[in-house]
């Protein structure tokens, strides 16, 4: 199970810069919940100090933000500067990325809609307007991301949209 | 039994490009490309391992493949195998890969020498990005067994791509070139040599890319990737955000005449940078330049 725990720990570090800082501060103790060999411990304690680790964290965040920003672009534009805060809140609530774009954006949309409803989103734009645009964009993208075997013949259309591949391929 | 030529019966194709929706017009222009490289994972919806009909075609993407298939070779560049994960390969994904190999008649299939799937108890999750493997003998053994099995199932050719690694693990048992040479020699799989990944690593870890190329067995190279990148903080990243830097063109000039089994050069770019990198004009410029290198050696 050691390699599995090593890979999970590395993925957790990449998704959570605060955890990188904790390993910098507390070393092995911050990795107690993983079953690691001494060499794996040394490797993780080394990588958290490497500048490449910050790049990994940035790439992870941008990979996670891209489907949301690309597919819910108008909603994101309306959120303006508060988008960053809302994404951070979302990532704290759901630390694991959902690789299916339709599931990731619908989960984000539900999360944001709840926050808009409860009035905690600090934004210069009217919450009701954002909620409406969000619902329209979500409906449109859900339709575009619907596989062919779920389409009725008359629903076929040549939709065009941008994609969000992981950064390194 | 390892093959002498990891490209098998695949024809020499020339210069291609990773297909994206934004480049659709360019990709369909007569004579623009010798082949398409596609990421099949972008063309379907994966409803999850426990679902009855797991994979569903995305109509507007499939339409592009249906256009291309009678006109151009299509090669598959997967992102979902996660060949280096500690958890077993996802057999449903492998079945889908094999079914699409038959459906679209790929000359070859490739994926990445990295891991992206992680174990959470009995469940699997995604790391979100491809992460580097430690180059240790036990990892090599694990990947060799998986690759041999995939080669048996698919009949090949199967290529793995050298990764961009932003971090370095201390105490690795093998160098990257030793690891890749051994993997290819033991299994007969080919190398998808990503020259931009190599360039990134040489910049970030301060080594000489030409020395790396001296140490790699270029007989294993079946496909080459070229791309452009950008700085993220102090790191030069493989962001696929523009045209290739001159260093990558220099590496390409070096590799193509020395790689006897090479079948194609693929230009990679990320859809979201299409407009900023100059759209069709940028693609045309990069493809033309790659073609000049290809034609000098073919
Ligand atoms: Fe690549």
Single residue among A11, A31, A50 that ends a domain in this structure: A50
Nearest Cα of chain B lies from the Cα of A138 at a distance, in angstroms, of 17
Same domain, A104 and A123: yes
CA dist., res. A150 & res. A153, Å (int): 10
| Confidence (pLDDT) at B94 | 97
pTM of the model: 0.92
Say if A25 falls within a structural domain.
yes
Q: For the residues B16-41, what does the mean pLDDT come to? A: 96
| Confidence (pLDDT) at A65 | 92
Which secondary-structure segment (H or E) carries B115?
Answer: strand B115-120
Confidence bin at B27 (pLDDT 50/70/90): very high
As a whole-number percent, the residues of chain B with pLDDT over 90 amount to 88
| Confidence (pLDDT) at A147 | 82
Whether the Cβ atoms of residue B78 and residue B106 lie closer than 8 Å to each other: no
Nearest Cα of chain B lies from the Cα of A113 at a distance, in angstroms, of 24
Say if A166 falls within a structural domain.
no
| Confidence (pLDDT) at A165 | 40
From chain A residues 64-93, the ones with a CB under 8 A of any chain B CB are: 64, 66, 70
Range scoring the smallest mean pLDDT among A33-37, A120-124, B176-180, B203-207:
A120-124
Same domain, A66 and A105: yes
Q: For the residues B263-286, what does the mean pLDDT come to? A: 95
Nearest Cα of chain A lies from the Cα of B181 at a distance, in angstroms, of 21
| Confidence (pLDDT) at B272 | 84
Same domain, A114 and A38: no
Same domain, A10 and A70: no
- Contacts of B66 by beta carbon, 8 Å cutoff, 6+ apart: none
Number of domains chain A is built from: 2
ipTM metric: 0.95
Whether the Cβ atoms of residue B208 and residue A35 lie closer than 8 Å to each other: no
Q: Tell whether A13 lies on the interface with B, counting CB pairs under 8 A.
A: no
Q: Judge whether residue A162 has pLDDT over 60.
A: no
Say if A150 falls within a structural domain.
no
Say if A153 falls within a structural domain.
no
DSSP for B153-200, written as a single string:
HH-S-EEEEPPP-SS--TT-SS-HHHHHHHHHHHH--EEEEEHHHHHH
**Are residues A56 and B129, on separate chains, in Cβ contact within 8 Å?**
yes
Same domain, A43 and A26: yes
Same domain, A95 and A136: yes
Say if A67 falls within a structural domain.
yes
Same domain, A40 and A17: yes
Same domain, A138 and A63: yes
Say if A124 falls within a structural domain.
yes
From chain A residues 111-140, the ones with a CB under 8 A of any chain B CB are: none
Q: Where are the domains of chain B?
A: 14-297
Range scoring the smallest mean pLDDT among A47-56, A117-126, B171-180:
A117-126
pLDDT tens-digit series, residues A117-146: 999 998 888 889 999 999 999 998 888 778
Range of the domain at A111: 58-145
Q: Would you call B268 helix, strand, or coil by DSSP?
A: coil
Q: Is B98 exposed, middle or buried (0-12, 13-18, 19+ CB in 10 A)?
A: middle
Q: Judge whether residue B254 has pLDDT over 90.
A: yes
Please tell me the total number of residues recorded for chain A in this structure.
169
Name the residue with tokens 């909603």: A75
- Give me the CATH code for the B14-297 domain, please: 3.20.20.150
Say if A159 falls within a structural domain.
no
Confidence bin at A159 (pLDDT 50/70/90): very low
Q: Judge whether residue A155 has pLDDT over 70.
A: no
- Mean pLDDT over all residues of chain A? 86
Nearest CA in chain A to B116: A11
Same domain, A89 and A124: yes
Say if A165 falls within a structural domain.
no
Same domain, A89 and A115: yes
pLDDT tens-digit series, residues B114-168: 999 998 877 788 899 999 999 999 999 999 999 999 999 999 999 999 999 999 9
């Amino acid at each position: 199970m050691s390699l599995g725990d090593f890979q999970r720990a590395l993925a957790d570090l990449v998704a959570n810069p605060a955890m990188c800082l904790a390993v910098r501060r507390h070393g092995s103790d911050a990795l107690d919940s993983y079953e690691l060999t001494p060499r794996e411990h040394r490797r993780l304690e080394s990588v958290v100090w490497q500048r490449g680790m910050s790049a990994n964290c940035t790439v992870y965040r941008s990979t996670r933000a891209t489907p949301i920003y690309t597919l819910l672009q108008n909603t994101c534009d309306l959120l303006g500067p508060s988008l960053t805060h809302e994404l951070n809140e979302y990532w704290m609530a759901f630390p694991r990325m959902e690789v299916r774009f339709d599931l990731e954006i619908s989960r984000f949309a539900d999360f944001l809609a709840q926050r808009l409803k409860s009035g905690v989103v600090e934004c210069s734009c009217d919450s009701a307007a954002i909620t409406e645009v969000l619902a329209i964009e979500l409906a449109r993208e859900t339709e575009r991301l619907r596989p062919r075997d779920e389409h009725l013949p008359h629903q076929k259309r040549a939709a065009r949209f941008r994609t969000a591949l992981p950064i390194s391929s | 039994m390892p093959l002498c030529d990891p490209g098998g019966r695949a024809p020499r194709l020339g210069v291609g490009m990773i297909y994206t929706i934004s480049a659709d017009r360019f990709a369909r222009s007569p004579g623009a490309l010798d082949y398409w490289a596609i990421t099949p994972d972008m063309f379907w919806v994966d409803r999850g391992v426990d679902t009855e009909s797991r994979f569903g075609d995305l109509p507007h993407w499939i339409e592009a493949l249906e256009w291309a298939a009678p006109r151009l070779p299509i090669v598959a560049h997967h992102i979902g195998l996660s060949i280096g994960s500690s958890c077993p390969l996802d057999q449903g994904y492998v079945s889908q890969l094999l079914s699409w190999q038959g459906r679209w008649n790929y000359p070859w299939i490739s994926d990445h020498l990295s891991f992206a799937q992680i174990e959470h108890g009995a469940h699997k999750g995604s790391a979100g990005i491809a992460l580097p493997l430690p180059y240790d003998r036990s990892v090599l053994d694990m990947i060799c067994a998986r690759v041999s099995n995939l080669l048996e199932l698919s009949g090949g050719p199967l290529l793995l791509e050298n990764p961009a690694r932003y971090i370095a693990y201390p105490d690795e048992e093998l160098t990257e070139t030793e690891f890749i040479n051994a993997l290819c020699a033991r299994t007969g799989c080919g190398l998808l040599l990503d020259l931009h990944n190599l360039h990134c690593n040489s910049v970030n870890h301060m080594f000489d890319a030409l020395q790396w190329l001296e140490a790699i067995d270029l007989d294993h190279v079946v496909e080459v990737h070229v791309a452009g990148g950008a700085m993220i903080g102090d790191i030069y990243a493989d962001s696929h955000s523009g045209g290739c830097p001159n260093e990558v063109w220099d590496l390409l000039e070096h590799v193509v005449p020395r790689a006897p089994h090479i079948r194609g050069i693929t230009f990679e770019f990320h859809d979201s940078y299409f407009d900023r990198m100059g759209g069709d004009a940028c693609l045309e410029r990069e493809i033309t330049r790659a073609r000049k290198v290809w034609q000098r050696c073919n």
